[in-house]
């Protein structure tokens, strides 16, 4: 019985809550400017585990109810957590969502992928720019 009572105190985070590529109608709960582009449940779990006093449970096969294509694997997963009672930064759920939006882009997996993608896109634009100039002349 004690486990059931404790289970009600767990909060849920779906990646759609902080996804800047989603609309409010499709589940985004933070402003678009503060959101994260296509977050994964694993990234949410990694960030939540760094907060002292938070218990985290992963549920990789759960699907967000507003998800249009429930078969896609990258749309699956959610993380359940408890709020730390002694940390003044996290008084409510929104505080945790904003913290996730701030910390996920700083993850090592995000920074290494982001840097290579940016350099590739700038290289492609430089190459395509040269080709266009040579055609005009």
Angle formed at CA 27 by CA 24 and CA 33, multiple of 5 degrees: 50
Mean pLDDT, range 114-121, rounded to an integer: 47
pLDDT for residue 87: 81
Q: Give the pLDDT band of residue 49 (cuts 50, 70, 90).
A: very high
Q: Regarding beta strands 56-63 and 11-13, do their DSSP bridges make them parallel or antiparallel, or are they unpaired?
A: unpaired
Q: How far apart are CA 43 and CA 40, in angstroms?
A: 5
pLDDT for residue 117: 46
Of the two residues 114 and 72, the one the predictor is more confident about is 72
Mean pLDDT, range 17-46, rounded to an integer: 92
Q: Where are the domains of the chain?
A: 2-125
- The string of pLDDT tens digits covering residues 79-105 is 999 987 778 888 888 999 999 999 999
CATH architecture of 2-125: 2-Layer Sandwich (3.30)
């Amino acid at each position: 019985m004690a486990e059931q009572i404790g289970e009600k105190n767990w909060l849920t985070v779906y990646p759609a809550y902080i996804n800047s590529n989603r609309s409010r109608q499709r589940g985004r709960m933070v402003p678009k400017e503060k959101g994260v582009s296509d977050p994964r449940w694993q990234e949410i779990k990694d960030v939540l585990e760094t907060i002292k006093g938070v218990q985290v449970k992963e549920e990789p096969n759960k699907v967000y109810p507003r998800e249009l294509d429930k078969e896609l694997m990258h749309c699956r997963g959610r993380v359940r957590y408890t709020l730390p009672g002694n940390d003044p930064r996290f008084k409510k759920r929104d505080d945790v969502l904003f913290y996730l939006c701030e910390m996920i882009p700083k993850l090592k997996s995000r920074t290494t992928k982001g840097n290579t993608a940016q350099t590739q896109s700038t290289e492609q634009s430089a190459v395509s720019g040269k080709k266009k100039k040579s055609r005009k002349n």
